[in-house]
Amino acid sequence: MTVKDIISKARNEKRTILTEIEAKQIFKEAGINCTDTRLAVTKKDAVSLSEEIGYPVVLKISSVDITHKSDAGGVKVNLKDKSEVENAFDEIMASCKAGYPDANIEGISVQGMAKSGVEIIMGMIQDPKFGSVLMFGLGGVLVEVLQDVSFRVVPLDAGDASEMVSEIKGRKLLEGYRGQDPADIPYLEDMLLKLSAFVADKPEIKEIDMNPVFAYKDGAIVVDARIILEEE
């Protein structure tokens, strides 16, 4: 499905929140690397998708009504075989249905388990004064506690992308802190430029959240993604 198709499907269903699967399909079209993520409606689907994708896999609740999937017991990582996938499927469903009895659940998404890297966030928000603004920062507790993020107005040029990465306080973590691999900074800058080019002509997109992105010595991958559309 193209970006247009995904957005019109959401419009038809009167929703402004896109699922993780839809958001990743859109980013893929924008040339941004994401974990291959597919929808399982039944437990049997989840097992066959896991086998196609290859173990270990991650299962997540797929519902536009559940924003914080892990808080709802809706994420199980590093599942190594069929029985772990089957158990995870049941546990996710039970936990999410108990916590969100009114949620509309479309199924459970299956994706490959990405190897760990430096956790990054990237996103886009609409500022009433500046329009589309990109955000870059370190993920996990660092963003929650320290709010160590940088912003630039779209469209970005190469200098903006480079400044966004270099001006965060935690940049040492990207440079290879205490034996950890450094992050591929030129690759991250390129992701920001791709995101900027992508959102520049998409006024119907209100908000983008890639949290987290795992950054590696070579490349990076988006493991969780969300897109919110403007009201029609």
Binding site residues, Mg ion, CB under 5 A: 211, 224
For residues 124 and 221, which CB has a smaller minimum distance to ligand ADP in the complex? Answer: 221
Q: How far apart are CA 227 and CA 154, in angstroms?
A: 17
Q: Is 202 in the site for ligand ADP (CB under 6 A)?
A: no
Q: Residue 13 burial by CB count (10 A; 0-12/13-18/19+): exposed, middle or buried?
A: exposed
Q: Specify the 3-state DSSP secondary structure of 204.
A: coil
* Closest to 134 measured CA to CA, from 118, 123, 146, 144: 123
For residues 189 and 224, which CB has a smaller minimum distance to Mg ion in the complex? Answer: 224
* Closest to 87 measured CA to CA, from 61, 107, 59, 106: 59
Residue 131's CB is within 10 A of a number of other CB atoms, namely: 12
Contact characters 157-196, ligand ADP, x per CB under 6 A: ----------------------------------------
Q: Is 129 in the site for ligand ADP (CB under 6 A)?
A: no
Q: Using CB distances below 5 to 8 A depending on partner kind, what does residue 223 bind out of ligand ADP, Mg ion, none?
A: ligand ADP
Q: Using CB distances below 5 to 8 A depending on partner kind, what does residue 226 bind out of ligand ADP, Mg ion, none?
A: none
- Contacts with ligand ADP, residue ranges (CB under 6 A): 35, 58, 60, 68-70, 75, 77, 111, 113-114, 212, 223-224
